[in-house]
Structure 1
Amino acid sequence: MRKDERPDGLPLTDEELGALDAHWRAANYLSAGQIYLMDNPLLKKPLEPVHVKPRLLGHWGTSPGLNLVHTHLNRIIKRHGIDALCVWGPGHGGPAVLANSWLEGSYSEVYPDVSRDEDGMARLFRQFSFPGGVPSHVAPETPGSIHEGGELGYSLSHAYGAALDNPDLLVACVIGDGEAETGPLAASWHSDKFLDPVHDGAVLPIVHLNGYKIANPTVLARMPETELDELLRGYGHDPLHVTGDDPHQVHQAMAAAMDTALDHIRHIQQQARNGAPAGRPRWPVIVLRTPKGWTGPAEVDGVPVEGTWRSHQVPLAQVRDNDDHRAQLEAWLHSYRPEELFDETGRPSPQVLECVPEGERRLGATRHANGGLLLRDLPLPPLERFAVPVDRPGATRHEPTGVLGLLLESVMASTGERRDFRLVGPDETASNRLQSVYEASGKAWQDPVLDTDEHLDRHGRVMEILSEHTCQGWLEGYLLTGRHGLFSCYEAFVHIVDSMVNQHIKWLKTSRALHWRAPIASLNYLLTSHVWRQDHNGFSHQDPGFVDHVLNKSPEVVRVYLPPDANTLLSVADHALRSRDHVNVIVAGKQPCFDWLSLEEARAHCARGAGVWEWAGSENGTREPEVVLACAGDVPTQETLAAAGLLRRHLPQLAVRVVNVVDMTRLMPHEEHPHGMTDLEYDALFTRDKPVIFAYHGYPWLVHRLAYRRAGHPNLHVRGYKEMGTTTTPFDMVVRNDLDRYRLVMDVIDRVPGLAVRAVGVRQAMADARVRHHAWIREHGTDMPEVTDWTWSNDRHPA
C-alpha cells in the first residue's frame, strides 16, 4: 500500500498518520521538557543534574491528551479552511498549549526572544513555572487563550460565549473529567438550548477522560460508557467515543470523530441557514478516553505511574539528586525520538509542521482569542433621549432601572445587524425593570414555545438561565472575543460568581501588561433588587457584600458606582459601556425613587465621583460646616436628605454639608487607585476635623477601610447594613440597621461638640419617632405616613 492510500475504513493515509504522530510526539517532548529542563533542550549531551530545574513544577498527566486534541484540530482547520478557537479547560494544561503555540510559530511572534530554534526552546523550557517566567496553566500570557486554567468549571460556558454571534467560528472546548464534576460545568451543558445555528457559531465539546484528579478517580471516567452516553444524550448531544492507548489506533479514531463531528455541525448550520423547519439540533460531543500521563514513565520505583493518579503532576521527582530517576527521565525524553522531530538548529521538521495551519488560522494566532482586535465601539445614543426632567430636586420619582432599560433597548436595536451586544441574567430581566429591551430583541431559546410564553426568540440576544455561573461564563467568553454586554442580577445572589469574577479580574490585570493583547470591553454588572428593597423577600435576599469583594481586587481594574437616581444611573451606565478592561459594578434600585439631579447635573456629579449638594445643606457657602452628612446609594441618599431636612427644621442654626458619593473608589487615596482623591481633595470635601456621618449602602466597615488613611478618619462615623434583615416594611429595614433619618439626626447631635446639651429635646423626639415607627408597623403592616408621604420639597421651606 502506498503512503498516500487510505486503509479500508480509516480516515488517514500512512503519510498523514506519520505527520500527525510526529506533531503529537514533538508536542509531548516539549511539554515534558518544560516541566523538567532548564538547559540541554535537544539532549545533545548526556543529561546532567545542572540541566534539570531545581524545583519541578507543572502537570504532566493531562498534557498528552491536550496535545492530541491540538494536533487533530490543526488537521481539520487546515484541511477545511475553517476559523477555530479552542478553550482548554483542564487545570494546569499549560505545558501542552505552550508547546503547540511554539511549534506553530505563534509564540515566537508574540515573544521574539523565545525563537523557534534551540535557543528559543531552551528559553521556553526554562521560563515555565520559573521565577520571572510563565504560569503552569493556560493564562493571558498564552497566545490563543481566552480562558484562565487555574480554576475549574468555566470552560464550556466560555466556549459558548465565544460562539455567540460568531457564525463562522468553531469553538472546541476540552473539558477535563475532574472539571466535569464542578457545578458550573454541569449547568453549562444546557447552553446548547440557547445556541442559534443561524447566527451563532458551533461549540464542539471534547470530554477528556484520563481517569483521575489529583489523588482520586473521576466520576465520569468510572461510569460505564453506556451510562455516560445516556447522560450526554440527555444533555442534547450526540456522543462520539474515542478510546485507547495505542497511538496509531487513537489517531485514526480521533480523525474519524473530528471529521464526523464537523460534518454534523455543517449539516446543522446549513439546514438552519437555508430555512429548514426550526427545532433544537443535537450537536456532537467527542468523548476521548486515554491514559493519564500517556507515553510517560510506566513505573517509578516499582510503582505504577502511567494511567494512574501518580502521573497527575510530576511523575519523576528528585531528578537532580536521584541518578536512577534522571536516567529514566532521559530515556523517557529520548522515546519521542527528538532527532526526528527537530533539526540541528532546533527547528521543527517539515513533517512535524505538515498539519499546522497558516497565519491567523493557527490556534495560537486567531484574532478571536485577542478580542480587542475585533472590538467596535458601541453605538450609544444621546442620553438626552432617555433622561427624566428634573425641575427641582425630589419633585418627581422614577424607576432608575426602568429608565436604563430604555437606553439598553436602543443599544440592542442599534446593534441588531452587528449582533455584538448581549444582556444576560438569571431569569430577572423583567423583574429588574429592563423589559423594554424585548422591544429590540427577545430571549434566546431553541426549545419548543408554548402559547403562554412571552418574548422567546430563536434569534434573541437577551439570555436568561437560572445559573449565575453560566451567565457569567457566557458574558466573559463574549467579551473576551471582542463584543459588549451587561450582566443584570439580584444583588444578594451575584455572590455566586465571586470566584469567577476573581479570575476575570486577574485576567484583565495580567493582560493589561501584555503589549500584544488589545483592550476588551469591560465586564459590567447591574446589581439591583438590592438589600434595602428586599423587605418582601427577607433575610436570604439581603446581602450588599459583592462590592466589598470586588474592591479587594486590583485597583487598576475594578470600579464601583452607586448612582442615587435615574439620571446618574444613565450617566454611569454610559461611561461603563464605553470603558475598556474594567470590571464595573453598578448598584441601582428598581423601585420608584426620587429624581435629584438633571442630566447635566448628573453628568457633572458622576464625572467628579463625589461632590457637595449645596442645595441640600445649610452651610450656604458662607461658613464652614459643623457636620458633614455623606451618603452613597439611593436609599441612603434619601435618608440623608430626610435627615438634612429634619436638622434644618429643628436646628436651623446648624451648618450642615451634604456630600453624595457615586464612585466608591474616590474615597481611596490617589496613590492606591486611579480614581482616588488626593488628601487635599478629600479634606476639602469632608473637612479634616468635623464629624462626618456617612450613610452607606453596604457594610459600614468598607468605608472605613477605604478612608482609614485620611486625616479626618477619627471623625468618620458610618451607618450601613449590619445583618439586621428580615421580611418587613421598607423603612423598617433602615431602622433595624440604624440607617434611618432619625438615627442619622441623633448621630449628628451626639457628635457635634456641644450640641448634645443644646439639642437634647430634638434627640429625644427622634428616638420617640423610632419607637412610634415600631408600634405603627406592627399594627398597620405599612410604614408611617410621615415616611411614605415624605418628599424633599416639603422640607425645602419648613413652616
Structure 2
Amino acid sequence: MPADTQQAPGVLTDEELNALDAHWRAANYLAVGQIYLVANPLLTEPLRPEHVKPRLLGHWGTSPGLNLVHTHLNRVIKTRGLDALCVWGPGHGGPAVLANSWLEGSYTETYPDITRDADGMARLFKQFSFPGGVPSHVAPETPGSIHEGGELGYALSHAYGAALDNPGLVVTCVIGDGEAETGPLAASWHSNKFLDPVHDGAVLPVLHLNGYKIANPTVLARLPESELDELLRGYGHDPVHVTGDDPAAVHQAMARAMDTALDRVAAIQRAAREDGATERPRWPVIVLRTPKGWTGPAEVDGLPVEGTWRAHQVPLAAVRDNPEHLRQLEAWLRSYRPEELFDEHGSPRPQVLDCVPDGARRLGATPHANGGLLLRELPLPPLEKYAVPVDKPGATLHEPTRVLGQLLEDVMRNTADRRDFRLVGPDETASNRLQAVYAASGKAWQADTLDVDEHLDRHGRVMEILSEHTCQGWLEGYLLTGRHGLFSCYEAFVHIVDSMVNQHTKWLRVTRRLPWRAPIASLNYLLTSHVWRQDHNGFSHQDPGFVDHILNKSPEAVRVYLPPDANTLLSVADHALRSRDYVNVIVAGKQPCFDWLSMEQARVHCARGAGIWDWAGSESGGEPDVVLACAGDVPTQEVLAAAQLLRRHLPEPAVRVVNVVDIARLMPSEEHPHGMSDFEYDGLFTPDKPVIFAYHGYPWLIHRLAYRRTGHPHLHVRGYKEIGTTTTPFDMVVRNDLDRYRLVMDVIDRVPGLAVRAAAVRQRMEDARLRHHDWIRVHGTDLPEVADWSWDG
C-alpha cells in the first residue's frame, strides 16, 4: 500500500467510516449472492448444494470496486446535495449496480415484487442470470442506467452526452481498465475540449484499474504511475489516486479523492459562471487501483484468485459438486457478517443506509437515467417556411440537405434558451450543406482558437469531432437523458458505429417492454455525401450498406427513409425529429437534385411510404406492362430518365413509375409495422408484370425484403454492385448498371414481345453507353445529353 494512502489524514469520522464500510460490505454480499444463490439468502442455515444455482453465471471481479464507487457517491450526493448520474462502464458489473439499487430502495420501487426483505432478497438472487430473470450486466432493466454493460468503449462519451446542457448535473463515469484499451474510449477522453463549464454539467471519470481483463493484464494497470499520470494530463485531466487493499484506508482515501475532485469541479464551474473565466479547465479524474475480486477467495484449488484474472467471473466454479468449494463460498459470504447488515426480516439495518441519499437523488431513481420523463416536445416550425416551390415536376433543382439546414437553423434557434437540441457529426456539417445552423449556434470548442477559425463557440451546440464513435456516444447520452438531436455523417463512414447502433437498438427494444421507462427522442441519422455522388473521392467513400445493417435489427425500432428530393427530405426529417424510441436512418443527397413534389404532395407521399407517380408513367388508367420502381434520389432520376426514353423511343408499353421513400414498406406487414399486406403490394407492383427496381444500395436487400411476394420471380433489381472509382457522376451509375440506358434495356429484355420488336432501340441504348465510355475519357465530364438532361414530362 502506498505511503500516501497510509499516512494521509482521514476525512471520515469513525462513525462515518463504519457506516460506509457496512454499506459496501452489504453490497458485496448481495453481489456474491446474486451470482451463486437460489435459496437461503441470509444463511440462516448451513449452505447446501441445493441452495446454489445449477448454472453459475456472472462476473465478480469488478463488483467490489463498483460497490466502493457507488457507496462513496452516495456519501457525496447526500452531503453536498448533488444531482448525479453514474455511467457504469465495466462490461459485467450488473451484480454491483443491482445490489446498490436494492439497498437504496429504487429497485423495489421499480419492481414491487423484489421487496427489501428476505423474500425479496431471495428473488433478487434467483432472477440474476436466470431464465426469465435479468441480464448479468447493467442493462435497460437496471434502474439508474443509461449504458448497456456490453458496450465496451462508449461509457465516457455517453457520460459527456448526458452532461451536455445539464448544468446542475454531475456525471460520474466508471471506466474499466479493459474498456480503457478500446479505440472509442481513447478518443472520448477528448470530450473535455467540448464541455462548456457554463451551460454543461461536469463529468468525473473514475478509471478503475484492477489489473486484468478476462485472462490478460490490462495495459493501463501495468503502466508506472508517473507514465499514466502523463497520459491523463496529456488528455487534459488532473489525476487523483486511490490505491490499496485495506478497506479502512481505501475508504478514507476514496472519500478524500471524491471531496478533492468535486471541490475542483465546483471551483471550475464557479470561475466560469461567476468570474467569466474562459481558459480551458483541467478537470479531475480519479484513478482507483484495487485488487480484482477484492474480498473474495484468496486461493482456490491451490491457485491464487484474488488480485488475478481468475477472479474475473466465478471464482468458485464447482460449488454444487465440490464440498471444499461449497465450504469456501459459505466462508466468503459470512466474511461480510450479514447478521450485522440485515435484520431478522432481511431488511438493511439503519447503519447500512446511513449514506444513502433521498428520493430522486438516489442513483437508481434519478430521472436523468429515465430521460423520457424529462423530454419536452421539440419546437419544430411549419415546413411551408422552407419548402421549395414546385409548379411542375423536375423544373427546378435544389440541394436537399442545404434546404434542410435552414430548418435545422430555426430548430437550433428555437431551442436556444432551453438548450435541448444538438447536431453532431465528424467534421462534416458544412460539407453536408447544413452550415446554416451556424447562424443560430456555432461549433462547441473549449481549446485554443486562431484568427482564421470560423464558427467556433464556447457555448455552441453543434458538435464536431473526427470520431464517429464519440459523436454517436455523445448523442446517445444526450437522448437517453431526455433531449433531442441529429447525427449527420458521410454514408460510407457511418459503418464505424455499427456495433454502437446495435446496442442502442437492443436498448430501445427492451425499454419498450418496460412500462416504467418513458419513451425518448429517436436516434436520427442523416446520411449524405452518399455512394452515387462520391465520384470525386473514389471507391473508399462508396458504401451504402448501413441500411442493410439497420434493417437486420428489431423491426419495431428501426426505420429507413430515402427521400428523392428537397421537400420529401423536409417531410421525413420533420417526422423523424418528432418520433420516439426509433432509430431513423435518412439517406439524402447534398448535390443539386431535381424537385419532383410540392410540399403538400411530399407530405402525402411520405405518409404513404411508397406510391405511383402517375405523371411520370404511361399507364393511362390501364394495367401496366412494366413497373419502373425507384428508391433514392439518383435512382429516381435515372428511372424518370428511362421512362422519358421509353416514351420517346418505345411508346407502346404501358409504364408505371413507383417511388419508395420508406424502404420497410416492401416487407410483409406481419414482419414490420410499416410493411404492406400482399394485397397492397400486388396492387402497387402487380403480381405478374416485370418490375425493374432501381435502388440506392446493394440490390440483394430489395430481394431479401420482397422474396415472399407473389411477384418476386418478376423482380429485377439494379443497385450498387461494389464497383467504384474516382470518375464522373454518371459513370458511377453506368459502372453499376443503374443508368437510364441500362434500365431501358432491362425493360426490353423482360417485357414479353419486345426483344425482337425493340431490338433497334436496345442497340441505341447500348451505343449510348459506349459513347459515354469514350466521352468521359476524352473530356473528363459526362455526356451533354446526361449533364444537361431535364424532365420534359
Fold equivalence (TM over 0.5): yes
CA distance in 2, matches of 1:374, 1:108: 22
Answer yes or no: is 1:675 the counterpart of 2:674.
Answer: yes
**What are the residue-to-residue correspondences of 1:629-708 with 2, within 5 Å?**
629-708=628-707
CA distance in 2, matches of 1:727, 1:301: 63
CA distance in 1, matches of 2:179, 2:619: 60
**What are the residue-to-residue correspondences of 1:457-606 with 2, within 5 Å?**
457-606=457-606
Query: Which whole-Å deviations, capped at 9, do the CAs of 1:334-391 have from their partners, x for residues lacking one?
Result: 0000000000000000000000001000000000000000000000000000000000
Which residue identity is paired with 1:722?
K
The aligned residue for residue 712 of structure 1 is 711
The aligned residue for residue 156 of structure 1 is 156
**What are the residue-to-residue correspondences of 1:117-516 with 2, within 5 Å?**
117-516=117-516
- Match of 2:33, SS? helix
**What are the residue-to-residue correspondences of 1:93-108 with 2, within 5 Å?**
93-108=93-108
| 1:598 to partner: Cα distance | 0.1
Query: Which whole-Å deviations, capped at 9, do the CAs of 1:459-485 have from their partners, x for residues lacking one?
Result: 000000000000000000000000000
Which residue identity is paired with 1:202?
A
CA distance in 2, matches of 1:628, 1:117: 67
CA distance in 1, matches of 2:76, 2:275: 27
- Match of 2:446, SS? coil
The aligned residue for residue 749 of structure 2 is 750
CA distance in 2, matches of 1:476, 1:677: 31
CA distance in 2, matches of 1:62, 1:297: 14
Which residue identity is paired with 2:639?
T
- Match of 1:346, SS? coil
Structure 2 gap ranges (5+): 1-6
Query: Which whole-Å deviations, capped at 9, do the CAs of 1:693-723 have from their partners, x for residues lacking one?
Result: 0000000000000000100000000000000
CA distance in 1, matches of 2:101, 2:508: 21
| 1:65 to partner: Cα distance | 0.1
Deviating runs (4+, > 6 A) in structure 1?
none
Query: Which whole-Å deviations, capped at 9, do the CAs of 1:131-164 have from their partners, x for residues lacking one?
Result: 0000000000000000001130000000000000
The aligned residue for residue 91 of structure 2 is 91
The aligned residue for residue 731 of structure 1 is 730
CA distance in 1, matches of 2:150, 2:241: 27
CA distance in 2, matches of 1:717, 1:665: 18
| 1:277 to partner: Cα distance | 3.0
The aligned residue for residue 112 of structure 2 is 112
Structure 1 gap ranges (5+): 1-6
The aligned residue for residue 788 of structure 1 is 787
| 1:675 to partner: Cα distance | 0.4
CA distance in 2, matches of 1:723, 1:125: 52
| 1:9 to partner: Cα distance | 2.5
The aligned residue for residue 67 of structure 1 is 67
CA distance in 1, matches of 2:703, 2:412: 40
Which residue identity is paired with 1:333?
L
| 1:8 to partner: Cα distance | 8.4
CA distance in 2, matches of 1:16, 1:321: 42
CA distance in 1, matches of 2:473, 2:146: 11
Which residue identity is paired with 1:650?
H
The aligned residue for residue 618 of structure 1 is 618
CA distance in 1, matches of 2:410, 2:577: 13
| 1:395 to partner: Cα distance | 0.1
**What are the residue-to-residue correspondences of 1:1-20 with 2, within 5 Å?**
9-20=9-20
| 1:10 to partner: Cα distance | 1.3
The aligned residue for residue 4 of structure 1 is none
- Match of 2:615, SS? helix
Per the normalisation by structure 1, the TM-score is 0.98
CA distance in 2, matches of 1:24, 1:383: 55
Which residue identity is paired with 1:727?
T
Query: Which whole-Å deviations, capped at 9, do the CAs of 1:477-533 have from their partners, x for residues lacking one?
Result: 000000000000000000000000000000000011000000000000000000000
CA distance in 1, matches of 2:171, 2:274: 22
Query: Which whole-Å deviations, capped at 9, do the CAs of 1:305-332 have from their partners, x for residues lacking one?
Result: 0000000000001100111100000000
Which residue identity is paired with 2:271?
Q
| 1:294 to partner: Cα distance | 0.1
Say if 1:668 and 1:344 are closer, same or farther in 2 by CA, change over 3 A: same
- Match of 2:743, SS? helix
CA distance in 1, matches of 2:306, 2:110: 34
CA distance in 2, matches of 1:69, 1:375: 29
CA distance in 2, matches of 1:431, 1:594: 20
CA distance in 1, matches of 2:567, 2:343: 66
CA distance in 2, matches of 1:399, 1:275: 45
Which residue identity is paired with 1:664?
I
CA distance in 1, matches of 2:706, 2:524: 25
Which residue identity is paired with 1:753?
P
The aligned residue for residue 58 of structure 1 is 58
CA distance in 2, matches of 1:663, 1:187: 35
Query: Which whole-Å deviations, capped at 9, do the CAs of 1:620-656 have from their partners, x for residues lacking one?
Result: 22x1000000000000000000000000001112100
| 1:449 to partner: Cα distance | 1.2
The aligned residue for residue 32 of structure 2 is 32
CA distance in 2, matches of 1:48, 1:174: 36
- Match of 1:792, SS? coil
Per the normalisation by structure 2, the TM-score is 0.99
CA distance in 2, matches of 1:293, 1:652: 78
| 1:275 to partner: Cα distance | 3.6
CA distance in 1, matches of 2:749, 2:8: 91
Which residue identity is paired with 1:661?
V
- Match of 2:95, SS? helix
- Match of 1:148, SS? coil
Query: Which whole-Å deviations, capped at 9, do the CAs of 1:62-94 have from their partners, x for residues lacking one?
Result: 000000000000000000011000000000100
| 1:231 to partner: Cα distance | 0.4
Which residue identity is paired with 1:203?
V
Answer yes or no: is 1:45 the counterpart of 2:60.
Answer: no
Answer yes or no: is 1:759 the counterpart of 2:793.
Answer: no
Computed over aligned residues only, the root mean square deviation of the Cα atoms, in angstroms, reads 0.6
The aligned residue for residue 3 of structure 1 is none
| 1:276 to partner: Cα distance | 2.6
CA distance in 2, matches of 1:8, 1:177: 26
CA distance in 2, matches of 1:321, 1:123: 24
CA distance in 2, matches of 1:116, 1:761: 84
Say if 1:590 and 1:559 are closer, same or farther in 2 by CA, change over 3 A: same
CA distance in 1, matches of 2:412, 2:667: 35
CA distance in 2, matches of 1:8, 1:274: 33
- Match of 1:629, SS? strand
The aligned residue for residue 3 of structure 2 is none
- Match of 2:229, SS? helix
- Match of 2:416, SS? coil
Query: Which whole-Å deviations, capped at 9, do the CAs of 1:398-449 have from their partners, x for residues lacking one?
Result: 0000000000000000000000000000000000000000000000000111
